[in-house]
Structure 1
Amino acid sequence: MNGEVTIRKAKKEEIHWVNEQYQRIGFKLSSLESDLIAIAMIDGQKIGVGRVQTISEFHAELGGMYVNPDFRGAGVAAKLFAFLVENASQFKHVYCLPFAHLAKFYQKFGFKQVIERDDVPDLILSKHHWCNDIYDHETLLFVKYNSKTEY
């Protein structure tokens, strides 16, 4: 990998490519109407994708992180993640459902494991349950608080 990794928002004409990546790995498909989608590129080649899905005025979910295996280990996921976290700062709570073996990566960005689930949106709770039914890896429930007050 010689070039510099750049991250930018996906364009309307790229949604087909984005959803091809998600279909290949068994993730739910994305929509530009409800999702902020970021694409990682190097030398004009798309090498990774991630998204922030709006749940409500105050809640979002960060996820759909995928980096082409040929480009893993070069910090691409961290750059994608940082871009998405920065672009989700208007939400009070940003949830994510990482596989357990990736917990330390998410914690580096200020995410904490959810202990008290009373205020977690039903959509997130049901998706968390779905992930643990579907995927071979254990899926955790994390949140990042963007306000000064933690609930």
Structure 2
Amino acid sequence: MEGSKSLTPQIAVRTLLLRVKDQAYYIGESAKSDPRLVEISAKIQASDDDDPILKDFVSDATSVVCNLLSRMLGETSYSNEGENITFTIKAAANTPDLQDQLVDYITNYMSTSILRNWLNTVKSDEAKRFDEKLVRLETELIQLSARRLKPERT
């Protein structure tokens, strides 16, 4: 497309899974403070054995992000090579270089989405508190995507 630029943010699946496992660990540990929740706290904490389930949630989050980027930045596709997810975005020419920021925002959104889905599977009342955070992260991603460079006079 003439007058466009290509952005290719790449997200490491391993990074996503490690973030989710870290967050789930701390949520599980905090649940141990209540003696009635000791048993469920172990279920909250995701392990490497849970990777197949978590990877399903990665796929869901990837689709949501791809649709969001398509709506806000331009035609977006993705490829999942197993180790990395690469988004290819055909953005307008006046889009600033958002590559690094997109990686951060996408990683935050996807890890929160995966964590929410994981908690919804093992302890649904814990997942509800992440709904508001996902809405906030989506809004931030939309605002980032809406940035454009000011035209210069010649």
The two structures have a TM-score, normalised by structure 1, of: 0.23
Larger Rg: 2
Q: Which has the higher helix share?
A: 2
The two structures have a TM-score, normalised by structure 2, of: 0.23
